[in-house]
């Protein structure tokens, strides 16, 4: 066996031995009689840039809160980097970073004080905390606002600060709920660069979004949740192939779907509308606007 092939085998062996970064088994959450997340199974491998998509109310935020220990599941299990979240909450929380929905920031602190507080809470020493806080404030374009109270931050600035706080301890797995919502184009560019840098250094990123173009540009793997169920899961190419194959089947009247007959590469939006639409019993996943709200002139 050549050296190169031997190395490859070793690497494959190592990858096979590595536990998934995120694993959820039969995960459910109900609110009274309503089941928001209904028995989902997810495996996110270490190093993946994973996009968790779904329409409003599909169960994305509920799922991310469970995966990060912010919300107890009704049933099912979660492990992060091979550790059960319920049995090892502290070890797991040290390895992850999270920017949840409606980030809770301490408004009475300045941005700089806030990052120091979070860094020290994670057990970083003073010098490391100070150095990383400075670097993060610079990177996020918040250096000039460091003395401002967090309560006086705009929504987008608050989001950048929440992200800085989520990564100050160097998490291996980062969870972001709608990270691009409400941030300007410059901040979005900064955020993308940071996330791609983390992926390049071996971290895993799990983000929810309903903005399909962003996910399409950034993520290698995608799961789509709809009404609490996972309706698609795989690499973008796998999802594309699945939808393309379904569309290639003639419909009841014998016609072939125009997208399939063109043989074009499906966009994530087309995949999304088809997957979500198929589970709703429609072919397009969209209601026809002319049928709705006829009283609006």
Ligand X SMILES: Nc1ncnc2c1ncn2[C@@H]1O[C@H](COP(=O)(O)OP(=O)(O)O)[C@@H](O)[C@H]1O
* Chain residues in the site for ligand X (CB under 6 A): 31, 36, 54, 56-62
Instruction: Please give the sequence-ordered ranges of beta strands (E in DSSP) within 60-187, or none if there are none.
Output: 75-80, 83-84, 96-99, 173-177
Q: Per CB under 5 A, does 63 bind Mg ion?
A: no
Beta bridge partners of 84: 79
Q: How far is the CB of 101 from Mg ion (least distance, A)?
A: 5
Q: Per CB under 5 A, does 61 bind Mg ion?
A: yes
Q: How far is the CB of 59 from Mg ion (least distance, A)?
A: 9
Contacted by 68, from Mg ion, ligand X, none: CB < 5 to 8 Å by type: none
- Which residue, 141, 218, 132, 209, is CA-closest to 171? 132
Nearer to ligand X by C-beta: 31 or 295? 31
Nearer to ligand X by C-beta: 58 or 214? 58
Nearer to ligand X by C-beta: 29 or 169? 29
- The values of phi and psi at residue 71, to 5°, are -140, 130
Q: Per CB under 5 A, does 62 bind Mg ion?
A: no
Distance separating alpha carbons of residues 36 and 248, to the nearest angstrom: 33
Residue number with the smallest Cβ distance to Mg ion: 61
Q: Per CB under 5 A, does 68 bind Mg ion?
A: no
Sort strands 96-99 and 22-31 into parallel, antiparallel or unpaired.
unpaired
Nearer to ligand X by C-beta: 52 or 153? 52
Distance separating alpha carbons of residues 153 and 229, to the nearest angstrom: 36
Instruction: Please give the sequence-ordered ranges of beta strands (E in DSSP) within the chain, or none if there are none.
Output: 22-31, 34-44, 49-53, 75-80, 83-84, 96-99, 173-177, 204-209, 221-226, 229-235
H or E element that contains 116: helix 111-121
Q: How far is the CB of 44 from ligand X (least distance, A)?
A: 17
Distance separating alpha carbons of residues 275 and 280, to the nearest angstrom: 9
CA 202 vs. chain centroid, Å, equals 16
Nearer to ligand X by C-beta: 58 or 168? 58
Nearer to Mg ion by C-beta: 61 or 129? 61
In this chain, which stretch among 55-63, 213-221, 248-256, 269-277 interacts with Mg ion, using CB under 5 A?
Answer: 55-63
Contacted by 58, from ligand X, Mg ion, none: CB < 5 to 8 Å by type: ligand X
Q: Per CB under 5 A, does 209 bind Mg ion?
A: no
Residues at the interface with Mg ion (CB under 5 A): 60-61
């Amino acid at each position: 066996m050549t050296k190169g092939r031997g190395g490859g085998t070793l690497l494959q062996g190592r990858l096979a031995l590595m536990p998934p970064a995120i694993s959820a088994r039969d995960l459910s959450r109900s609110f009274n009689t309503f089941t928001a997340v209904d028995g989902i199974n997810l495996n996110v491998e270490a190093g993946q840039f994973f996009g968790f998509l779904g329409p409003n109310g599909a169960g994305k935020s509920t799922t991310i809160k469970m995966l990060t220990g912010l919300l107890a599941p009704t049933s099912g299990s979660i492990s992060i980097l091979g550790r059960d979240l319920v049995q090892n909450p502290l070890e797991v929380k040290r390895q992850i970073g999270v920017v949840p929905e409606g980030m809770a920031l301490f408004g009475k602190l300045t941005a700089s004080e806030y990052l120091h507080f979070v860094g020290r809470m994670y057990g970083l020493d003073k010098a490391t905390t100070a150095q990383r806080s400075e670097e993060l404030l610079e990177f996020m374009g918040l250096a000039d606002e460091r003395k401002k109270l967090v309560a006086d931050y705009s929504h987008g600035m608050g989001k950048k600060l929440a992200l800085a706080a989520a990564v100050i301890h160097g998490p291996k797995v980062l969870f972001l709920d709608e990270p691009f919502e409400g941030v300007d184009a410059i901040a979005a560019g900064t955020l993308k660069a940071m996330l791609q840098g983390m992926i390049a250094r071996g971290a895993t990123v799990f983000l929810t979004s309903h903005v399909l173009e962003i996910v399409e540009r950034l993520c290698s793997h995608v799961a789509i949740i709809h009404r609490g169920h996972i309706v698609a899961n795989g690499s973008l190419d796998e999802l594309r192939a699945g939808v393309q194959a379904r569309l290639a089947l003639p419909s009841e009247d014998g016609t072939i779907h125009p997208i399939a007959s063109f043989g074009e590469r499906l966009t994530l939006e087309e995949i999304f509308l088809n997957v979500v639409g198929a589970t709703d019993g429609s072919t397009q996943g969209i209601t026809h606007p002319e049928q709705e709200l006829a009283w609006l002139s």
